[in-house]
Amino acid sequence: MPHPDPTAPALSLDETRARAIFAMVCDANGDHAVEVTLAATVSELTRFANNTIHQNVAEEHVSLSVRTQTADGRTARATTNRLDPEGVRAVVARAGELTRLQHPDPEALPMAGPQTIVPVTRFFPATAALSPADRAAVVGDIVSEADRHGFTTAGVVANQQGALAILNSNGLEAFHRETSAEYSITMLAIDSSGWAKGNAPDLSRLAPVAAARRAAEKARLSAAPVEIPPGRYTVILEPAAVLDLMGFLFYDFGGLSVLDQRSFLTGRTGTKLFGDNITIRDDVAHPLQSGAPFDGEGIPRQATTLVEAGTVRHLVYARQTAVRMQREQPAMQAAPTGHGFPLPNEYGEAPANIVMQGGTNSLDAMIADTERGILVTRLWYIREVDPFKKILTGMTRDGTFLIEDGKLQRGVRNFRFNQSMVEMLNQVDQLGVSERSSGEESFDMVVPPMRVHGFQFTEVTRF
């Protein structure tokens, strides 16, 4: 039963207001080309620990970011949250002054003109309206689940609404509104824990109480964990663990990253780098995805096949990177894909809506088919050890199990891994059904659980 909150702030940006602010910016601007990015957010988050709500916060925020550009390619950006006429004039003046002090850039492209953007529906009023009392009720149900097991629980229940608008003096207009709802739940037993997390634009797609039961079951099953030696194991990675690893790959799929020779794909585009069963796309329109259908310049995001049957097929490109790649490496056949960051920037672009092709197996079936291995619920504190071999390190957390004879036998102490992602994606022998998943180290993705042979654990910790 919803509990409306009359004190809650409303989202303060729509297309009409965006156009009005843009008109104020244009009035204050001189002869420069100008681009305006407006972002408004209302976000609320209820946090609990020790079976108590201990932090409970709300925020409303709007920002106006102005980029000006001269005919000789000088450009700079200034940002404010003062949207009164004086604030608007001041931010335009600051952007203009910063622009004047830049060096001419003959490679800079003029601002883009009008674009055809296919809208995506990701705003759900019921999600936006979730009130503090509603969130507290959900937390109450999660705590009841913890109490039933004698566990302690910690986590969040959150909702957010946001609006984004990009307009420029060449006639480009791009608008997007979106909601999101999220839960993250940790169940803590005496010497074990379990975890589950979900995030979606539409609250009705989430089932936090069922997730609390799963987390509690993991905490129960992993009680009294035993230490087993580090080494190479067959490992089943649940989707949250997969996405947190995958998140360290995707900046390398930006064209500028390859041109800068900082990507592990430098010299490897077009080569078969991974196993036959690895296919990865970037697709903002996928029904399980989230986010705006345009990039930081307002260019429509295009579905892009990054990896097909193990071969690196395509990179993603901002407009300017595509031009440079066409000039320096014409064989790449680069074209803008709508993945650029707001200008000016030094990183270019990156995929943002990863969809990894899965299989048909359920997680339970994958476990049942494993003679001996490790089930990993979640990974933690992942960092890149080697940028070209793409070795990552990190820890397992909140539910690590020994599998024997197709069954979860017991919990084990958490491992540190040091694993090359290039090697790992050649050693995947089973993929489960892809699902929208949330972790803590990367943005949400649509990924499957995967079984990997020879995954390298190098150390064991004390719990």
Partner 1 sequence: MRQLGGWALDSAVGGGASYADVRVLGERHRSLSTKNGKVGHVGDEESLGVGIRVLLDGAWGFAATDRLDRAAIEQTAAHALAIARASRHVCRTPVVLAPEAAHQAVWHGPCEVDPFTIPVDENISLLLEVDAALRGVAGVTLAEADLDFRRQHQVFLSSQGSDIEQVRHLSGGGYAALCFAGNEIQKRSYPNSFGGQFQLAGYELIDRLQLLENAGRVAEEAVALSRAAQCPRQVGTIILDSSQLGLQIHESIGHPIELDRVLGMEANFAGTSFLTLDKLRHLRYGSELVNVVADARLQHGPGLGTLAFDDEGVPAQCTDIIRAGEFVGYIHSRETAAMVGDMRSNGCMRAESWNRIPLIRMTNISILPGPQSLSPEDLIADTDDGIYMETNRSWSIDDKRFNFQFGCELGWEIKHGKRTRMLKNPSYSGITTEFWNSMDAICSRPHWTLWGTPNCGKGQPQQTMGTGHGAAPARFRNVRIGTAYQS
CA distance 50 to 53: 8
Rule CB under 8 A: say whether 251 interacts with partner 1: no
In the bound state with partner 1, the residue whose beta carbon lies nearer, of 92 and 117, is 92
DSSP 8-state assignment for residue 149: H
Binds partner 1 (CB under 8 A): choice among 22, 28, 29, 51:
51
Rule CB under 8 A: say whether 245 interacts with partner 1: no
Binds partner 1 (CB under 8 A): choice among 139, 284, 332, 375:
139
Which one of the spans 6-14, 122-130, 162-170, 330-338 is the region binding partner 1 (CB under 8 A)?
6-14
Which value, to the nearest 10 degrees, does the dihedral of the CA atoms of residues 287, 290, 296, 301 take?
-10
Rule CB under 8 A: say whether 155 interacts with partner 1: yes
CA distance 260 to 349: 12
Task: Give the H/E segment covering residue 152.
Answer: strand 152-168
Which one of the spans 203-211, 233-241, 279-287, 380-388 is the region binding partner 1 (CB under 8 A)?
380-388
Binds partner 1 (CB under 8 A): choice among 17, 19, 220, 262:
262
Is the distance from CB of 44 to CB of 58 less than 8 angstroms? yes
CA distance 263 to 254: 8
Rule CB under 8 A: say whether 385 interacts with partner 1: yes
Is the distance from CB of 349 to CB of 295 less than 8 angstroms? yes
By CB under 8 A, the residues from 341 to 370 that bind partner 1 are: 344-346
Which one of the spans 16-24, 313-321, 387-395, 424-432 is the region binding partner 1 (CB under 8 A)?
387-395
Binds partner 1 (CB under 8 A): choice among 32, 122, 135, 149:
135
Binds partner 1 (CB under 8 A): choice among 1, 16, 31, 103:
103
Nearest to 242 by CA among 372, 431, 39: 431
Token pair for residue 33?
A: 């080309």
Cβ 96 to partner 1 shortest distance, Å: 11
In the bound state with partner 1, the residue whose beta carbon lies nearer, of 117 and 241, is 241
Binds partner 1 (CB under 8 A): choice among 25, 88, 143, 212:
143
Binds partner 1 (CB under 8 A): choice among 27, 59, 227, 429:
59
Is the distance from CB of 183 to CB of 198 less than 8 angstroms? yes
Task: Give the H/E segment covering residue 18.
Answer: helix 15-28
Cβ 208 to partner 1 shortest distance, Å: 13
Cβ 195 to partner 1 shortest distance, Å: 8
Q: Position of tokens 């109490």?
A: 147
Token pair for residue 199?
A: 């995030």
| Strand pairing category for 450-460 and 415-420 | antiparallel
CA distance 312 to 328: 19
CA distance 1 to 355: 34
Site string for partner 1, 193-232 (x = CB under 8 A): x-x-------------------------------------
Amino acid at 352: A
Cβ 224 to partner 1 shortest distance, Å: 17
Binds partner 1 (CB under 8 A): choice among 26, 126, 136, 303:
136
Binds partner 1 (CB under 8 A): choice among 260, 328, 404, 429:
260
| CB-CB neighbours of 252 under 10 Å | 22
In the bound state with partner 1, the residue whose beta carbon lies nearer, of 120 and 332, is 332
The number of residues that bind partner 1 (CB under 8 A) is 96
By CB under 8 A, the residues from 279 to 338 that bind partner 1 are: none
Q: Position of tokens 């997007």?
A: 176
By CB under 8 A, the residues from 60 to 99 that bind partner 1 are: 60-63, 76-82, 91, 94-95, 97-98
Looking at the DSSP assignment, which residues form a beta bridge with residue 145? none
Is the distance from CB of 382 to CB of 248 less than 8 angstroms? yes
Token pair for residue 117?
A: 């953007």
CA distance 389 to 246: 14
Rule CB under 8 A: say whether 271 interacts with partner 1: no
- Go through the chain and tell me how many residues it has: 463
In the bound state with partner 1, the residue whose beta carbon lies nearer, of 238 and 283, is 238
Mutual angle of helices 85-100 and 15-28, in 10-degree steps = 60
Binds partner 1 (CB under 8 A): choice among 19, 56, 173, 326:
56
Amino acid at 434: S
Rule CB under 8 A: say whether 133 interacts with partner 1: yes
In the bound state with partner 1, the residue whose beta carbon lies nearer, of 51 and 161, is 51
Cβ 6 to partner 1 shortest distance, Å: 8
Which one of the spans 52-60, 167-175, 238-246, 328-336 is the region binding partner 1 (CB under 8 A)?
52-60
Nearest to 448 by CA among 437, 434, 436, 438: 434
Token pair for residue 223?
A: 């009680």
Which one of the spans 181-189, 216-224, 306-314, 428-436 is the region binding partner 1 (CB under 8 A)?
181-189
